[in-house]
Amino acid sequence: MKPTHIRLRRACVAAAAAGVLIGPAAAGSTAYGAATAPASSASTPTPSPGTDAEFRQLTPAVAAQLDAAVRQVMRETKVPGVTVGLWAPGKGSYVKTFGVADKATGAPMATDLHVRIGSETKTFTVTALLQLVDQKRIGLDDPIAKYVTGVPNGDRITLRQLAGMRSGLFNYSLDGDFIKKLQADPQQSFTPRQLLDYSFKHPAQFPPGARFDYSNTNLILLGLVVEKVTGRPLHEVIAQKVLAPAGLRHTVFPTSAALPDPYAQGYTDQTASGKIEDSTHWNPSWAWAAGEMVSDLQDLRSWAHTLATGRLLTPETQAERLKTTPMDIPGDGYGLGIFNVQGWIGHNGSIPGYEVLPVYLPEARATMVILLNTDVQYKGQEPSTLFGQAVTAIVTPDHVYPGKKPPAPGGG
């Protein structure tokens, strides 16, 4: 799906995954085909007592099925390491790591490792924006030109359209010159204005609001809106207004390429040579408000619930956030920096070296978090999508992410 991550070259069409991939450089999103799905509900479904039809009891037998499914996907995709977490009231939990966090040393994956979260960053940026809506300091239907000058169609593109990926602005991370520059020196820094320049040299792709098209450019602009209105750097606003009240102590919006200890090494093939390389310490500034953040398993578990239930927003603003418009898979929709994929609410993330999938299923009050230390695609699909698909086919067969059940083991 489109929302997943920030890719450098790929336009992100994570077909079967629910990953909204961003685009070549860091905040990618996957776009499906023509939008044919009906819009989703404007509010989070009322939680109901979990039944096995909604979420299977996590018995030893089910855990064994999950182990086998995860290992099969690992064999196929050659992912170095993955962590899978499942939690549902009354159904138990499943938290397990597989493979290695560091291919050089053989150090195993662990549940406390930090990873880069790519486009999951968008959920934090848009939350900060929506808090300003709650404070009556901005309006969702304000034109972006009110806050940022020089935007093509800026007098007609609204903040709502930017957050909902319907602006029509070209995705800077798909620009050829940008890709070459980043791959030539992954340690260099980019400013938000430099990123916008790569986008704005391209004409608008379509009139504002005409259709869904995942673009990291939208989030760079929204980050600038937050800074303009608050008068403070985006990373400070998110730390103080989102991370602190959400109780996320292991999530950071870095201002350098450094990662907090402990962390998993990341591996990508989005390199100048096309070969898989260690991208752990690539400078993520090129992703900024679209994909620069870092987190860990437990914080993402907590955040998936907070995001889906709107704990940091008023009910009215959360309802606006959850109003979705079609992406490209029937039954899936994108709201304001959030998606609803077969009932799973959240966002995926991918950046060179890492992918994450933290989502929440209101019907079962269930949370799923998948972390991996590579973004190397398998047959054109994001590996996080394939893991999410394999896991949900077992525990929530009526809510398979992103909508297509995987073949049985040994199948084609």
Cβ–Cβ under 8 Å, residues 247 and 302: yes
Q: What was the pLDDT predicted at 296? A: 98
Tokens 């950071």 appear where?
A: 252
Give tens-digit pLDDT for 53-101.
Answer: 689 999 999 999 999 999 999 999 999 999 999 999 999 999 999 999 9
Residue 5, helix vs strand vs coil = strand
Give tens-digit pLDDT for 8-54.
Answer: 433 332 322 233 432 323 333 322 222 222 223 333 333 334 446 68
**The length of the chain, given as a count of residues:** 412
Give tens-digit pLDDT for 113-128.
Answer: 999 999 999 999 999 9
The whole-number average pLDDT for the span 247-262 is 97
Q: What was the pLDDT predicted at 73? A: 98
CA distances from 164 to 219, 228, 324, 325 (A): 10, 20, 8, 8
Give tens-digit pLDDT for 335-369.
Answer: 999 999 999 999 999 999 999 999 999 999 999 99
Give tens-digit pLDDT for 162-178.
Answer: 999 999 999 999 999 99
Q: What was the pLDDT predicted at 80? A: 98
For the record, the structure tokens of 238 come out as 């998110």
Cβ–Cβ under 8 Å, residues 260 and 250: yes
Q: What was the pLDDT predicted at 406? A: 58
CA distances from 308 to 90, 257, 304, 305, 361 (A): 20, 29, 6, 5, 9
Residue 368, helix vs strand vs coil = strand
CA distances from 333 to 83, 271, 355 (A): 26, 32, 21
Neighbours of 195 (CB within 10 A): 26
Mean pLDDT of the chain: 88
Give tens-digit pLDDT for 191-233.
Answer: 999 999 999 999 999 999 999 999 999 999 999 999 999 999 9
- Could you please report the per-residue DSSP string of 164-187? TT-S----GGG-HHHHHHHHH-TT
Tokens 């304000």 appear where?
A: 142
Q: What was the pLDDT predicted at 403? A: 78
Amino acid at 349: G
Give the integer Cα–Cα distance in Å for 263 and 249: 15
Give the integer Cα–Cα distance in Å for 76 and 57: 27
CA distances from 92 to 50, 248, 301 (A): 11, 23, 15
Q: What was the pLDDT predicted at 53? A: 66
| Region label for 159, one of left (φ > 0), alpha (ψ between -120 and 50) or beta (otherwise) | alpha
Rg (CA), the chain: 19
The whole-number average pLDDT for the span 304-326 is 97
Give the integer Cα–Cα distance in Å for 84 and 387: 9
Give tens-digit pLDDT for 130-141.
Answer: 999 999 999 999
| Cis peptide bond prior to 409, omega within 30° of 0 | no
